[in-house]
Amino acid sequence: MSHYILHRGERSAPRFGRLLLPLATAALALLTALPAQADGSQPDSVQANAAQQAARKPAAPADCALPGRTGWTDEGHDTDPAQFLRPDGKIRAAMLFVDFPDAPATESTTEDAAQLTPAADWLREASYGDARLSITPINRWMRMPQNANTYGFERGITFEQHELYVGQAVAAADPYVDFGDYDIVYVVPTKAAGAITFSPTYLFDPGTTGVVADGKRVKWAVTFGQDMWRWGFKVLSHETGHIFGLPDLYAFSGETHGYVGGWDVMGLISGASPRYSGWHSWKLGWIDDKEVACLDAAGQSTVKLSPIESKGGGTKLAVVRTGPTTAYVAEARRAEGLDSAACSSGVLIYKVDSAAQTGAGPMRVMDSTPGSTPGNGCLPLDDGAYQPGQSFTDAATGVRIDVLKANGGHTTVRVSRT
């Protein structure tokens, strides 16, 4: 994983990379009365509120969308369209290949391109066909003006150093590329450049001139490092997710994959279920409001979920809002498509907090099997999908999510909030 979140003038150590930054109608079933007591009768408090709850209209999905923390990479739905690239339609990317005076290339550019370009098909499937990434490899080596070990990757690169690196790569390629034709620039170093260790994402600083070529400002770039040979093409999917405004789901401190395990490529890049979570797909516009069921106040609802791996139709998310910036989400996941290697199938339940910073747990998966020993290649949370008969409860917020049954490719859940 490789990206940085830095403001201009800051430095960070190269851990698993952080993003280098400058500075509906709800698809809900009818609300029902709260559960009966063991003898079948309703508590007095429920009887008193039954008419009010039954008369209450299902909430619109917009009522469960959360505001962002800063407008940068977070779980909010108010993603800044000027700062981040809209992940819809054709997205044009130029792939540049660079070598260095102290690390001349010996391999072909096609070998390096083959390591990353499959991400275009992966992204198309992940977005249900909405985001069509078109990568144009510029198949020649462009010589950078500095030695590879002078850019600061090994010491914890700063935003200024990273912008210099992007600018020099663009300048070297300018005679061969019309940058006015592209939305994203991918910079790929030769295998020989061991000092270019990791793969940060570059987002422009609106307060500076930045990098300009062919009359167009380069606003979004990813500079790949030697970790691309470990992570493969999904490192491009992860880093491009930052360009779309998504935060890191792995932890910058403590247990690296203790928040979401391998359930989203924004967490563990090589995870067993790497498809973008349903919340991210909704945030990015790949899941429509009509596919989201929202409960934003006390009440109860039964929702039939379609798996997020399938395209179109049905309800993909059941969301219970718990505060100004928090919500619980339930989505159905199964082992197919991009998630074919999933360690468990069922209902994934997680908490979202749009006030939490990237790398500090803005999304946290609830584990249906705490203390279990997952299978080979699986992290502790990877076998945590909930099965029929299981339930999740958060007493502090009054949220309860029961998985009722699974049939016909759908899973029925009951969500409630007291």
d(Cα 6, Cα 22) in Å, to the nearest integer? Answer: 6
d(Cα 295, Cα 60) in Å, to the nearest integer? Answer: 8
Beta-bridged to residue 348, according to DSSP, are 331
Would you tell me the crossing angle of helices 234-243 and 119-126 to the nearest 10 degrees? 60
Query: How far is CA 57 from its chain centroid?
Result: 31
Nearest to 279 by CA among 382, 348, 359: 348
The owner of tokens 């300018």 is: 174
Q: Exposed, middle or buried by CB within 10 Å (0-12, 13-18, 19+), for 265?
A: buried
d(Cα 317, Cα 345) in Å, to the nearest integer? Answer: 16
Reported as type and span, the H/E element at residue 162 is helix 159-173
The pLDDT of residue 265: 98
Contact predicate 297/26, CB 8 Å: no
How many other β-carbons are positioned within 10 Å of the β-carbon of residue 308? 29
d(Cα 20, Cα 220) in Å, to the nearest integer? Answer: 11
pTM, full prediction: 0.88
The pLDDT of residue 155: 79
Phi-psi region of 299 (alpha: psi -120 to 50; beta: other; left: phi over 0): left
The pLDDT of residue 120: 98
* 59, 127, 318, 377 from 271: Cα distances, Å: 34, 18, 24, 9
The owner of tokens 């470990």 is: 230
Mean pLDDT, consecutive 10-residue segments, the chain of 418 residues?
45 49 36 33 41 54 89 88 95 98 98 98 98 98 98 91 98 98 98 97 92 97 97 98 97 96 97 98 96 96 96 93 97 97 97 96 97 90 97 98 94 97
d(Cα 162, Cα 97) in Å, to the nearest integer? Answer: 16
How many other β-carbons are positioned within 10 Å of the β-carbon of residue 226? 19
Contact predicate 132/221, CB 8 Å: no
The pLDDT of residue 20: 59
**Strand arrangement, sheet containing 292-295:** 292-295, 317-321, 326-333, 346-353, 363-365
Strands 212-213, 399-407: pairing is: unpaired
Q: Exposed, middle or buried by CB within 10 Å (0-12, 13-18, 19+), for 169?
A: buried
